[in-house]
Structure 1
Amino acid sequence: MDAVTELTADTFHSAVAERDHTVVLFYVKWNAVSMAFMQSYIEVSESLEDADVSDVELAVVDCGEWTDVCNAQQISSFPTVRLYRPQEPSQPYQGMLGTESLNRFIMLSRLVSPVLLSSPDEVTSFLEGDLYQRHAAIAPVTVLGLFSSTASAGVPVFKEAAKALRGETMVGLFADRRAEIWAVEYSVTLPAILVSRGPTGQTEAHSLHLSMPDQLVTHIQRALLDTFVSLCLYHSLIEIPLTKYI
């Protein structure tokens, strides 16, 4: 396992404190799913190295050998993947156990969240322009928070929710009186969020009436899920007439 770092009780805490992002796979050798996923995990590490991604370290902990580390991290199932950042709680990876899904999670987790936007042009770029295009492969659906000013009571809540959503989607924030432009266009009241699929997709708007970060995270995740389901349904309706005549 040259592509990943094997951590022990002596090296775990220093390792997760050194890098901006340390991804740790907790596994046991007797678990078939752990060992099957190990190959995908190594492939992700190699792809990050090939892409010159230097701020992410992939590591593993054998919980059959280092039970004290795994108990301290409250690992109760295998395999478990967590992302560690210095002086922050660890973030669990809850996606599919495959190369593409894990790589997407890691690349999205490296982005600042929320992306602070300061002008209508930057908002347009985030939703459908250059900024969107740079990250469309890993974040085809983006979320934009709209507030009337940086002093709005909901801004700190939104920022906390955006941090919690790192790895799931790209989140932007526009806190300015000109946010009313989009509120009028999409017939919502501020504060609001826009869930966008880019320049060729549909944009959905939702007014916000939530006061806690975890409530807002759940609200955004549901909006993302609804958008994903709608996209899948759209493609299935397109494919039905085509496959009928094959």
Structure 2
Amino acid sequence: MAFLQSYIDLAIKLKGTSTILLTRINCADWSDVCTKQNVTEFPVVKMYKKGKNPVSYAGMLGTEDLLKFIQLNRISCPVNITSVREAEEYLSGELYKDLISYASVSILGLFSPNMTIAKEDFIEAGKYLKGYVVTGIYSEDDVSILSNKYTATLPALLLARHKEGKIESIPIANTHAQDIVQIITNSLLETFPEITVENLPTYLRLQKPLFILFSDDSINPEHKKAILTLVKGKHLDLFTPCWLNLKNTPVGRGILQAYFGVLPPTPLLVVVNLHSGGQVFAFPSDQAITEQNLLLWLKKLEAGLESHITILPAQEWKPPLPAYNFLRMMDAAASSHHPARKDPECMKETVVQENDKEQHEDRSANRKEPTETLRIKRWNRSNVFKAEKSFRHDNKEL
């Protein structure tokens, strides 16, 4: 029932918001409704607006993530910007300042009026990312004012990072919609993020070894400075540099115990491969975490001179018990017949949670395994530490 509680908490946060109505449908009772809406897994959240196609939510099933999705869906994306002044307000965050807490990065596409195909690709990408990021488009005759100011070669994306107060440009000539989606998605990632249960899947999609610093509490500023210096020097391009606060994310203690057998003292820096082999390498605890020491250690890793502290076992991800075999249950449900019932009527802007009660309760019990969270398969050093270019080209999935 974990997700149901998140949904209840969401309803409490949105209490008094007259434009949004939250409802819940049990697909075991309303099978015809769920079938019409192409619901094939549980739970699922969909948003309905009058005159528009329903939008499915595919993010983390937590209260804050759901709230962000709903709030960012209040505006149509990409937003059509009609003047340079409005564009500047958009980039500064003033135009949608009530959404800044949900979207720390705003994307503005710049196009000449005759760049029809490029605009169509950007619009398609903006629609795909609706609910996850704010996008806008400017394509007026005076677009050169903005392109000159921000040193952008048209067509281009302007990325406004509101927390840092920075605006950067990315050229997108001959870039298709799916590639624009990837560019925008990557731009939302932090350089040195704090890893949490919620954001871990996003960074795992990069398919790079984790270069992760475990800390009891807030990160030491000197350690952060040393690692960010390595990032700036592109010494960590083949890794995902990150850190984990054991106070905020206690599951990290279980992860460390899986790596070391006992809970070691922190701060502690490890490299965990995400593709192959399952090797875990630990930075020597008797050395200070400085730029120079980290560089020497990375060179030893590259040369194969460091020994791993453990290899995480490769295991098949099977249901632990027949009761957890959700795929079999779904197949059985699809072949059975349920009597039709009258569709429930939903007014206003509606967010609907559809679930199968028994399956949902079972799923909530089958949650995260610390060892498996950072599980990896096999590591070939020659593939990890060689061509950065080919490494990037192999990882273009969302």
Mapping of residues 41-52 of structure 1, within 5 Å: 41-50=7-16
1:241 lines up with 2:241 in the alignment = no
Q: Cα distance 1:82–1:221, how it changes in 2: closer, same or farther (>3 A)?
A: farther
Tell me by how many angstroms 1:218 deviates: 4.6
1:194 lines up with 2:158 in the alignment = yes
Tell me by how many angstroms 1:143 deviates: 0.7
Q: Cα distance 1:199–1:75, how it changes in 2: closer, same or farther (>3 A)?
A: closer
Q: Cα distance 1:199–1:61, how it changes in 2: closer, same or farther (>3 A)?
A: closer
More helix per residue: 1 or 2?
1
Determine helix, strand or coil for the equivalent of 2:89. helix
Answer with 1 or 2: which has the greater Rg: 2
Question: Which deviates the most, 215-224 or 136-145?
Answer: 215-224
If asked which structure has higher relative contact order (CA below 8 Å, sep 6+), I would say 2
Mapping of residues 190-229 of structure 1, within 5 Å: 190-198=154-162, 200-210=164-174, 215-229=176-190
Alpha carbons 2:125, 2:180 under 8 Å: kept: no
In structure 2, the residue matched to 1:108 is: 72
Alpha carbons 1:147, 1:177 under 8 Å: kept: no
Tell me by how many angstroms 1:199 deviates: 6.6
Root-mean-square deviation (CA, aligned residues, Å) is 2.8
Q: Cα distance 1:157–1:241, how it changes in 2: closer, same or farther (>3 A)?
A: closer
Tell me by how many angstroms 1:36 deviates: 1.4
In structure 2, the residue matched to 1:4 is: none
1:68 lines up with 2:32 in the alignment = yes
Alpha carbons 2:46, 2:57 under 8 Å: kept: yes
Tell me by how many angstroms 1:43 deviates: 1.6
> 1:31-84 deviations in whole A, cap 9, x for unaligned?
xxxx2111111221221123xx22222111111222222222222221111122
Determine helix, strand or coil for the equivalent of 2:15. helix
- The letter of the residue matching 2:78 is P
Alpha carbons 1:142, 1:196 under 8 Å: kept: yes
Q: Cα distance 1:95–1:62, how it changes in 2: closer, same or farther (>3 A)?
A: same
In structure 2, the residue matched to 1:90 is: 54
Distance 2:185 2:128 in 1: 14
Gaps of 5+ in 2: 195-211, 224-266, 268-287, 289-398
**TM-score relative to the length of structure 2:** 0.46
Tell me by how many angstroms 1:210 deviates: 4.8
Q: Cα distance 1:86–1:75, how it changes in 2: closer, same or farther (>3 A)?
A: same
Distance 1:98 1:78 in 2: 15
Paired residues in the alignment total 203
In structure 2, the residue matched to 1:147 is: 111
Distance 1:117 1:208 in 2: 19
Distance 2:177 2:157 in 1: 10
Distance 1:124 1:181 in 2: 11
Distance 2:220 2:177 in 1: 36
- The letter of the residue matching 1:225 is N
Alpha carbons 1:148, 1:176 under 8 Å: kept: yes
Alpha carbons 2:84, 2:146 under 8 Å: kept: no
In structure 2, the residue matched to 1:36 is: 2
